[in-house]
């Protein structure tokens, strides 16, 4: 791992993990489409649901190198990764502390499934140290955070949470999807487990559904027991697409960082925008924390329209497409109340600070003048 940490992220994206077939000396990992493997001469049976095929292991090595983690599991989706971690490490009688402002899919899973299994939970009232300490119980086993959060881009102090977890003997978990390994490495800040929806920045082309779990080899071995039972494995063809995508991850994310910063500055000054949520803005509540723990502020931002109808605004956009998901090379926009947080009740959305005027923008790699021009013409919509 030390060697992997000594090379740059662009180099790691391209080279780490690649499997070279000595018989056919191609520079890319071959795609092994078999789901049946001979076993007599192998110490371990190979099978996709066992998470040990060559194409699966290549992904783990590459992303683990980027996240400075020992090992991992590549999964069929981000929610497969999240649910496998929770179900694999928690038991009846345990309590979990979840950060306020969870991704809608995570929130729905927590509310719908955990109590059935005898697992209780608390959601913090805020993201400061006192909020996490106040949520602890004698039976707390885990703290789970997401930063930057979806969709309001709140920034939680990762090192602070990791220290609380260590002091109380808890497992710390972070959803690092919005930041990507290019912008943020929670393992270096003391976090135990990192999860990603690889559907987003790691895939980056809006054509892959995948997830990943990263941690120590010992903890991954424990989580793998549950993963075998749940069966959330990823096929070889999708692994190959994901490996190819990660090779350009740093290039894509750096461009998205730059574009999002300019878009956030533009929107903050526009008369039809009442508020912008972006950690790169000095006006962001926890900008100083973001500066400390992030090397880039990401390609995600949210904003609230002042008077315009959000649906009419989205329909007037030309270049920017209203679409679910995020992190692709194209700029997309969505209304959280209609997509990621639609399963929440009105009161739950209000509690999270999400209203119908809020729009989430996933900034792509297009030329920034073209992105700004499209936003400008749509914001000039007659009220």
- 81-101 pLDDT tens trace: 999 999 999 999 999 999 998
1: confidence class by pLDDT, cuts 50, 70, 90: very low
How far apart CA 56 and CA 47 sit, in angstroms, is 10
- Alpha carbon distances (Å) from 190 to 7, 34, 167, 174, 347: 21, 38, 12, 11, 34
pLDDT at 5: 53
Q: Are 249 and 182 in contact (CB under 8 A)?
A: yes
339: confidence class by pLDDT, cuts 50, 70, 90: confident
Query: What residues are labeled active site?
Result: 49, 103, 175, 200
- The mean per-residue pLDDT over the stretch 277-296 comes to 98
Residues found in the chain: 383
- 187-232 pLDDT tens trace: 999 999 999 999 999 999 999 999 999 999 999 999 999 999 999 9
Mean pLDDT, the chain, integer = 95
How far apart CA 249 and CA 92 sit, in angstroms, is 39
pLDDT at 154: 97
pLDDT at 345: 76
Q: Are 362 and 327 in contact (CB under 8 A)?
A: yes
Structural domains in the chain plus CATH codes:
2-246 (3.40.640.10), 249-379 (3.90.1150.10)
180: confidence class by pLDDT, cuts 50, 70, 90: very high
Query: What single string gives the DSSP state of each residue in 60-86?
Result: HHHHHHHHT-SEEEEESSHHHHHHHHH
Angle among Cα 326, 60, 187 to the nearest 5 degrees reads: 80
Containing 105, the helix (H) or strand (E) segment is helix 104-109
- The mean per-residue pLDDT over the stretch 126-146 comes to 98
Long-range contacts of the stretch 24-28 (C-beta < 8 A, 24+): 28/244
Q: Which pTM was predicted?
A: 0.96
- Alpha carbon distances (Å) from 171 to 158, 160, 174, 177, 216: 13, 14, 10, 19, 12
pLDDT at 352: 80
Residue 2 scores a pLDDT above 90:
no
């Amino acid at each position: 791992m030390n060697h992997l940490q000594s090379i740059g992220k662009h180099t790691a994206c391209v080279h780490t993990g690649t499997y070279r077939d000595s018989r056919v000396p191609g520079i890319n990992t071959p795609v092994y489409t078999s789901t049946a493997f001979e076993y007599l001469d192998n110490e371990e049976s190979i099978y996709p649901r066992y998470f040990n095929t060559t194409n699966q292991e290549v992904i783990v090595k590459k992303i683990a190198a980027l996240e400075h983690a020992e090992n991992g599991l590549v999964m069929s989706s981000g929610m497969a990764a999240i649910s496998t971690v929770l179900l694999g490490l928690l038991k009846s009688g345990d309590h979990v502390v979840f950060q306020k402002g969870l991704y809608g899919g995570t929130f729905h899973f927590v509310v719908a499934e955990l109590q059935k299994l005898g697992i209780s939970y608390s959601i913090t009232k805020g993201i400061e140290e006192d909020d996490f300490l106040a949520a602890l119980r004698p039976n707390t086993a885990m703290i789970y955070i997401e930063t930057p959060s979806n969709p309001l881009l709140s920034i939680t102090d990762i090192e602070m949470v990791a220290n609380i977890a260590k002091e109380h003997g808890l497992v710390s978990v972070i959803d690092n999807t919005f930041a990507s390994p290019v912008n943020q490495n929670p393992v270096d800040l003391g976090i135990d487990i990192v999860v990603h929806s690889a559907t987003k920045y790691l895939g980056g082309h809006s054509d892959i559904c995948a997830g990943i779990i990263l941690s120590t080899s010992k903890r991954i071995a424990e989580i793998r027991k549950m993963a075998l039972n749940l069966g959330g494995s990823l096929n070889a063809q999708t692994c190959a697409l994901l490996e190819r995508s990660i090779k350009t991850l740093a290039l894509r994310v750096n461009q998205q960082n730059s574009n999002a910063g300019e878009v956030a500055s533009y929107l903050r000054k526009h008369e039809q925008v009442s508020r912008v949520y972006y950690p790169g803005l000095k006006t962001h509540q926890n900008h100083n924390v973001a500066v400390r723990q992030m090397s880039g502020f990401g390609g995600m931002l949210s904003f609230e329209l002042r008077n315009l109808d959000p649906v009419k605004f989205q329909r007037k956009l030309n270049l920017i497409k209203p679409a679910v998901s995020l992190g692709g090379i194209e700029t997309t926009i969505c209304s959280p109340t209609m997509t990621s947080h639609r399963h929440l009740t009105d009161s739950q959305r209000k509690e999270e600070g999400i209203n119908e005027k809020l729009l989430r923008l996933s900034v792509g790699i297009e030329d920034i003048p073209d992105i700004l021009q499209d936003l400008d013409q749509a914001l000039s919509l007659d009220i």
